[in-house]
Chains A and B, each alone.
Chain A
């Protein structure tokens, strides 16, 4: 574990050096992602200019859900973005072989191969949203609440990672599963709004099958009493751990299958 932490640091240092060399591109990346997020928040704001609440949720409460999703996703985007490229960057051109002949865990290597600059834009905008929403909510914030918020955000990020990892793993059998990963990732858009607005079937799906509900709605619901999900929301970290374990086990299976067919 300590070895991998140090190794990650070395990888990250190299990436940062490169990023600093292309400063303009770094800024374009950060700025464009911020604008992208800002556009979708502004949409919600425009709608709320004309109404009071959606399904009992005020503008700032929805903003809060949004903020948790954006911050959680930034963890995924900054550190684990390379999972998207497993098929076309590693398996198709045979570059995965390069990782398999090194004395490190291949998943670690894939993940460490990239640090995604645009994710920093996501992080900044996520924190800004949270900073805007939280003071407007009728909550008491103590150390325990802040600690819980951090845990919830990390869990949210891990669920994003686990879901992407799980579906990227299909690349071991079909060379590039990017379309699947992309389609599944788009489901995370559901989680921007209170799950209670959806049909029951969709709610169940986002809770038990592809658990994007735990990336935003449930963590936010923990802090908002009237939601009625306060207790259920406590399962968020457990959901994150279970997702990661399942995804990693599936990855290992995929890797094994890859070793017997060799692409």
Chain B
């Protein structure tokens, strides 16, 4: 366990430098906040609620969803690059479990992202947009738990997409595909309750809503009481299933390396 923590810490140090990418990311995030704010202001100009959601709750939902979406990515990109340049074979010889190593790296960058990226953004958002806070401490705890599980579901899924690099050349295209699926089906753009019925039903059977929609709905009060615990149950189901899938597919991929040499 300790060596994985060291790996995570190493990555945190690498990310501490305020690089050009950090500023670019911050500027982009602020712009997205602006677009979200003005867009929803305009949408609510002629009505006070949509599907019983008022502007304040809606903005809270969208902003929290946007911030949370920043965490549902993972190490898929790094893994895909490692596969492409043959690094995987070298990594496999090292004395650690490569999956855990990648996750440790991921945890490292996410902690830095939380400190450098998310916290300033949360302050800006709450200062300028008067978003609402959860009503009870129970909700806060449930949200924290749910968000954490959602992030790991996203990480596992991202890993699965990264592994595809063993079989496809156009890694970039696959990533765009994955991003679009998540953006849309996770409820990062709009609460899933607004979807037409047929689409909502499809969405309920996919893992994506467990990444963003469920935690954010708990936060903004769209899901309460026993429903919230049910949501956690669904998330746990996906968490376990995806992890099993990660292990199974990784075993297959390693066979591919050891037999065909990558």
Contacts and interface: CB of A to CB of B under 8 A. Distances in A.
Contact of B168 (A24, A50, A53): A24
A118 interface: yes
A118 B173 contact: yes
A109 B179 CA distance: 32
Given A50-B51, A197-B42, A28 B170 contact: yes
B54 interface: no
Interface in A46-73: 46-47, 49-55
A231 interface: no
A35 B24 contact: no
B32 interface: yes
A211 to B, nearest CB: 16
Contacts of B179: 36
Nearest to A196: B42
Interface residues of B, number: 40
Given A22-B170, A43-B190, A52-B46, A190 B180 contact: no
Given A29-B173, A35-B177, A190 B47 contact: no
A137 interface: no
Contact of B174 (A32, A36, A42, A43): A32
Residue from the set A32, A52, A193 with the largest chain B CB neighbour count within 10 Å: A32
B35 interface: yes
Interface residues of A, number: 39
Given A46-B190, A47-B190, A198 B38 contact: yes
Contact of A55 (B23, B42, B174, B196): B42
Contacts, number: 112
Given A24-B168, A25-B169, A43-B190, A32 B42 contact: no
B34 to A, nearest CB: 7
Interface string A167-203: 0000000000001101100110110010001110010
23 contacts: A25-B173, A28-B170, A32-B173, A35-B177, A35-B180, A36-B179, A39-B180, A39-B189, A47-B190, A50-B194, A53-B46, A179-B19, A179-B20, A182-B28, A183-B23, A189-B31, A189-B35, A190-B34, A190-B35, A193-B35, A197-B39, A197-B41, A197-B42
Interface of B: 19-21, 23-25, 27-28, 31-32, 34-35, 38-39, 41-43, 45-47, 50-51, 168-170, 172-174, 176-177, 179-181, 183-184, 189-190, 194-196
